[in-house]
Amino acid sequence: MYDVSPWEDEARIAAIGRLADEGDVGRLVDVLMLRAQDWHEGYGVASRLRAMPEEPRRALADRLVGHHNSPGGGPDQRERAVVLLALVADGFVEEAWCDYWVRMLEDRARHWYSTGTSDEVPAVAEAVLNAGRGLSWEVVGLLRRSAGQGLGWAGLLLDRLAEPLLNPGEPWADRILAELPVLGERWRDLVAYLVAPKAGRPTRRWEREAAGRIDGIGAEAVRRRVTPWLATAAQGGGQCDGGYDSYNVHVIIGLAWLMPLLPPHAETARVLGALVEHAPVKAGVAGAGVHALARLEGGAGRVELARLAGCVDHKVTLKQVRRALEV
């Protein structure tokens, strides 16, 4: 159970818990609003505030709205008030509050790749979801990446963030997201199967279940569609250095693993080779490309592996290529 945020001060959590238990709303709002450093609260404080009965939470919400609307407050104070409002307003949310929360989340998604240790994004996102509102794909991507980097509160929301299948913002992922609505449910099922995190190489069970999904579409149709997806993925991801989104990267690996299960084609080895060669690329992605090349029917990937052995300079990837050639 995610009880507190790792960076939270236990003494502060305890102090706020005592004030919440006493129902001292005036003192509580002063303590919450006048914190000198690290203004955002964590999951520990949030859980203490949410445990309050509804009546004092409503009174606290009224005080926070007053701080937000105060002409003497600066933008940081106004934002602090509304983020705190997200922690206490369960069951009595007003549309104006949701609108502010949504604008805040959209702004974060435009400017942040992940949230680090900052809990205000998942706090506000949870309030929006609890109010019955949806989140944009960009905000969902921000939350998923943050959860992948260890932000526990964001991780608690992942089961409620089924859409989109991939985080937007990378050319190859945006292409898949644009094509899936036209391709239909069987294609969606295939891509959804690839989302789960993967081990170093596919198991027999993974290949068997993947093959069943391919059969439902048609192996040649899958090859024609997946090959350009992989070619686009080989050009890099959406991070500033071209690195891949930590949530999306599993799908690239899965697409590479599909290739040996598909009809042979001269283009297959070339695309897999590009996936291995082009930097920046995560070692897991390069390894998936090497594994797929080694598994192509009739040794069709060996020429490409030999070429890669002469041009790849990443030590781990080069070792993988040489090992594949020795088999």
Q: What is the mean pLDDT of residues 98-123?
A: 92
Backbone torsion region of residue 23, taken as left when φ is above 0, otherwise alpha when ψ lies between -120 and 50, otherwise beta: left
Domain boundary, last residue among 95, 130, 160: 160
d(CA 57, CA 53): 6
Identify the pLDDT of residue 1.
Answer: 43
Contacts of 177 (CB under 8 A, 6+ apart): 137, 164, 165, 166, 168
- Tokens, residue 44: 């520990």
Eight-class DSSP state of 310: T
Looking at the predicted structure, is the pLDDT value of residue 39 above 70? Answer: no
Q: Cβ of 59: how many Cβ atoms within 10 Å?
A: 17
- Answer whether residue 2 is part of any domain: no
Asked if 241 and 280 count as a contact pair (C-beta separation under 8 A), the reply is yes
- Answer whether residue 1 is part of any domain: no
Q: Does residue 231 share a domain with residue 187?
A: yes
Total domains present in the chain: 2
Q: Does residue 133 share a domain with residue 270?
A: no
Question: What count of Cα atoms within 13 Å lies in the side-chain half-sphere of residue 222?
Answer: 26
Q: Cβ of 103: how many Cβ atoms within 10 Å?
A: 11
State the pLDDT confidence band at 37, using cuts at 50, 70 and 90.
Answer: low
Q: Does residue 243 share a domain with residue 181?
A: yes
Domain boundary, last residue among 109, 138, 160: 160
Q: What is the mean pLDDT of residues 73-77?
A: 76
Percent of the chain with pLDDT over 70: 96
- Answer whether residue 166 is part of any domain: no
Q: Does residue 225 share a domain with residue 139?
A: no
Q: Does residue 99 share a domain with residue 76?
A: yes
Asked if 65 and 28 count as a contact pair (C-beta separation under 8 A), the reply is no
- Answer whether residue 193 is part of any domain: yes
Q: Does residue 303 share a domain with residue 182?
A: yes
Q: Does residue 258 share a domain with residue 137?
A: no
What is the domain range of residue 51? 10-160
Identify the pLDDT of residue 61.
Answer: 94
- Answer whether residue 125 is part of any domain: yes
Q: Does residue 175 share a domain with residue 154?
A: no
Domain boundary, last residue among 119, 141, 160: 160
pLDDT tens column, 231-271: 999 998 877 777 899 899 999 999 999 999 999 999 999 99
Asked if 88 and 49 count as a contact pair (C-beta separation under 8 A), the reply is yes
Chain centroid to CA 41: 22
Strand ranges, E, within the chain: none
For residues 196-215, one letter each, b for 16 or more C-beta atoms within 10 angstroms of the residue's C-beta and e for the rest, the string is eebeeebeeebeeebeebbe
Q: Does residue 175 share a domain with residue 35?
A: no
- The model carries a pTM of 0.90
State the pLDDT confidence band at 97, using cuts at 50, 70 and 90.
Answer: very high
